[in-house]
Amino acid sequence: MHLANCSYITLRNIKVSGFPTNGINIDDGGSYETPANNIVLENVTILETGPKGNHDALKMSGVDHFIVRKCRFEGWGGSGIDMVGCHHGVVEDCTFIGRAGFSQSNGVQLKGGTEDVLVQCCFFKNAGQRSINLGGSTGLQFFRPKVQGYEARNITVAGNRFVGSMAPVAWVTSDGGCVHHNTIVLPEKWVLRILQESSDAQFTPCHDGLFEHNLIIFDSKIQIFVNVGSGTNGTAVYF
């Protein structure tokens, strides 16, 4: 299913299964100045997308004022939800379950100039290398509406539960963002990562994220709690 350059659309009570590329694709039709807007997905299930490579369960490019609510994602190649240049949205009360045999890079990825998005009250189980990727690595030509120094800005991740994943939370070339009141259970290598994956001079160093009031249950697999890459510039971490 591909929705292009549309407004005021609701998808509800739909099940999508077994597509080799993206499960559902919503975008601005390549018209960056006129994003798709006022989109609602509710009680949508997307299963077995891919299984390998950059194939997302839900792909959103240039979508503003959206809600993804009570949706379920199981088994995908790239991201459960991949956002490129999306703004003013909410993802809430959704479930992301990784499956064996699927490459699953991320549960939710917010990149390409994505701003002002809340991810709340969701459940992530083995949802990729990074369950939540606040930022990412986007080709400059795909930023919506244009490069403004960050991959993601003003992202809030609150009240979610994470089980497994190499790193449940990662900031990547992002400006700010707050991760608070989440429960993180038995991550595989790190609790969180702070990275700068773009060396282009148009981007500022990853900076000013806030990680606070989170409950973390860990075992001996965790030798380094926070993985900080080169070229970054500060995130406040309070356990």
CB 132 within 8 A of CB 168: yes
CA atoms of 109 and 103, how far apart (whole Å): 15
CA atoms of 184 and 85, how far apart (whole Å): 28
The strand pairing partners of 42, in sequence order, are: 12, 69
CA atoms of 7 and 92, how far apart (whole Å): 21
Q: Over the stretch 182-234, which tens digit does the pLDDT of each residue have?
A: 999 999 999 999 999 988 999 999 999 999 999 999 999 999 999 999 989 86
Full domain range(s) for residue 47: 2-237
Q: What CATH number did the domain enclosing 141 receive?
A: 2.160.20
Q: What is the pTM of this model?
A: 0.96
Q: Over the stretch 107-136, which tens digit does the pLDDT of each residue have?
A: 999 999 999 999 999 999 999 999 999 999
How many structural domains is the chain composed of?
1
